[in-house]
Amino acid sequence: MDYVELRVQAPHELADMLVAELGEVGFDTFEDNDEGFCAYIGEGDFDHDAVAEIMSRYEGIGELSYSDRVITRQNWNSEWEKNFQPLIIADRVSVRAPFHPKPEGVEYDLEIMPRMSFGTGHHETTALMIENQLDIDHHGKRVLDMGCGTGILAIMAEQLGARQVLAVDVEPWTVENAADNAAENHCRTIECRLGGVEVLAGEEPFDLIL
């Protein structure tokens, strides 16, 4: 199957909203970058008019532009690997996809496959959160990752010694992605839960909220 790559240039504050809306019209893989993000969908499922309608709703909110192109099946894996580059944060944390080799000389190694979810460390906010986590004592603490995305912050929390981590998101595909990433990283203390603040009813207090 051939794929369509939608390359979106947008301010960070619009990115999450656009990803959610594009997910509703069939896009199933997202990769964030410095200018915005790329979204991918099977060519047969691509609806140009639906994309144009989504983008039109955000005109005037910020600088927004987009373009699309077809990626043939034989080039898909190489295109994905080319666009998803490993990342080193604060010289201590590696963020990479499973198809990248583990780098030497880092304390923490996170394997992240983003699919439809945001959170690869390439966005400045995610990278800054991970840097901040490095300065916080997680040992023996209960941690809440609210709006977990790929689960990258929850996984980081476990690697930093958290005894229990609850990762919550309102999107089913995000929760599934976070759970898969937690399994890929051999996590044992992370629970991924679908919903909003209502799923926290009856929970004991958390020591740290991300």
**DSSP code at position 153:** H
Half-sphere exposure (Cβ direction) of 52: Cα atoms closer than 13 Å: 3
| Helical pair 48-56 and 12-24, crossing angle rounded to 10 deg | 140
User: Kind and range of the H or E element at 173?
Assistant: helix 172-184
| Average confidence (pLDDT) over 22-41 | 86
Classify domain 84-209 at the CATH class level: alpha beta
106: its two tokens: 């880092």
Report yes or no: 154 and 142 within 8 Å, Cβ to Cβ. no
Q: Which two tokens stand for residue 80?
A: 């994905």
Domain ranges of the chain: 3-81, 84-209
Alpha-carbon span 1 to 162, nearest angstrom: 42
Interval 45-60 mean pLDDT: 92
Instruction: Count other C-beta atoms under 10 Å from residue 2's C-beta.
Output: 14
Tell me, what's the pLDDT at 121?
Answer: 57
Backbone φ and ψ of 167, nearest 5°: -110, 120
Same fold, 3-81 and 84-209: no
Residue in 131, 98, 103 with CA at minimum distance from that of residue 115: 98
> Cβ contacts of residue 92 below 8 Å, gap of 6+?
106, 107, 108, 134
pLDDT tens for each residue of 82-133: 667 788 999 999 999 888 888 988 999 999 886 654 555 566 678 889 999 9
Determine the pLDDT at residue 6: 95
User: Nearest 5°: phi and psi at 192?
Assistant: -105, 130
Contact by Cβ (8 Å): 7, 120:
no
Cα of first residue to Cα of last residue in the chain, in angstroms, is 38
Q: What is the CATH number assigned to the segment(s) 3-81? A: 3.30.70.980
Q: What is the mean pLDDT of residues 29-56?
A: 89
Give the 3-state secondary structure of residue 21. helix
- pLDDT tens for each residue of 186-208: 999 999 999 999 999 999 999 99
Task: Return the ∠ at Cα 112 (arms to 107 and 116), rounded to 5°.
Answer: 155
